[in-house]
């Protein structure tokens, strides 16, 4: 019986370690809902839909300042949908959230109108991270096996990440002190 308790305890520790690691790779989407004059929209329903699965991932209500925060959010591509009485339903599609990213949408304007009409925003400039200087990028196992590297040098995979530059003379030599 003592051996069973040890095995159960070890299993619980392993499961909790993986759960903590999974939560550690989550991001957040935040912003403020405002009317056309810039006033805060309170008690509006804000939800995020995973575009790949078609499922609602998170749902919240705006506070007295019109602010909302959806977390924890796994990385993926999402559609943000906001509904408030007296306003048209607003949708913002194609929001790409990376691991550890805090996506601040800023002031999101909603148009006055009935809730039955929908405004869809599809073409937008890419979002720039303004809340923090933090940027992360995950190199997947498919990229590691699918991208040819010179001499199996894992450091050359760093060049596939956005924002990585090097002042090295050769593309085949990626030294950490010059990246």
- The CATH number of the domain covering residues in 26-121: 2.60.40.10
Q: Can you tell me the distance from the alpha carbon of 176 to that of 174, in angstroms, rounded to the nearest whole number? A: 6
pLDDT of residue 128: 63
Q: Which helix (H) or strand (E) holds 68?
A: strand 67-73
Looking at the whole model, is its pTM more than 0.85? Answer: no
pLDDT, tens digit, for every residue of 106-160? 999 999 886 555 667 666 555 666 666 666 667 777 777 777 766 666 667 776 6
Domain residue spans of the chain:
26-121, 141-178
Q: Is there a contact between 93 and 102 (Cβ–Cβ < 8 Å)?
A: no
Residue 7 is predicted with a pLDDT of: 54
């Amino acid at each position: 019986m003592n051996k069973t308790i040890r095995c159960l305890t070890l299993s619980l520790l392993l499961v909790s370690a993986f759960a903590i690691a999974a939560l550690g790779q989550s991001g957040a989407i935040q912003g403020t809902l405002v009317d056309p004059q810039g006033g805060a929209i309170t008690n509006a329903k804000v939800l995020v839909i995973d575009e790949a699965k078609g499922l609602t991932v998170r749902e919240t209500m705006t506070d007295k300042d019109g602010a909302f925060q959806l977390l924890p959010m796994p990385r993926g591509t999402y559609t943000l949908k906001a509904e408030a009485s007296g306003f048209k339903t607003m949708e913002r599609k194609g929001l790409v959230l990376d691991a550890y990213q805090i996506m601040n949408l800023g002031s999101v304007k909603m148009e006055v109108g009935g809730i039955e009409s929908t405004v869809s925003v599809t073409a937008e400039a890419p979002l720039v991270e303004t809340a923090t200087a933090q940027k992360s990028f995950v190199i997947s196992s498919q990229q590691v096996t699918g991208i040819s590297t010179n001499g199996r040098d894992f450091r050359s995979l760093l060049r596939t990440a956005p924002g990585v530059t090097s002042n090295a003379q050769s593309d085949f030599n990626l030294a950490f002190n010059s990246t």
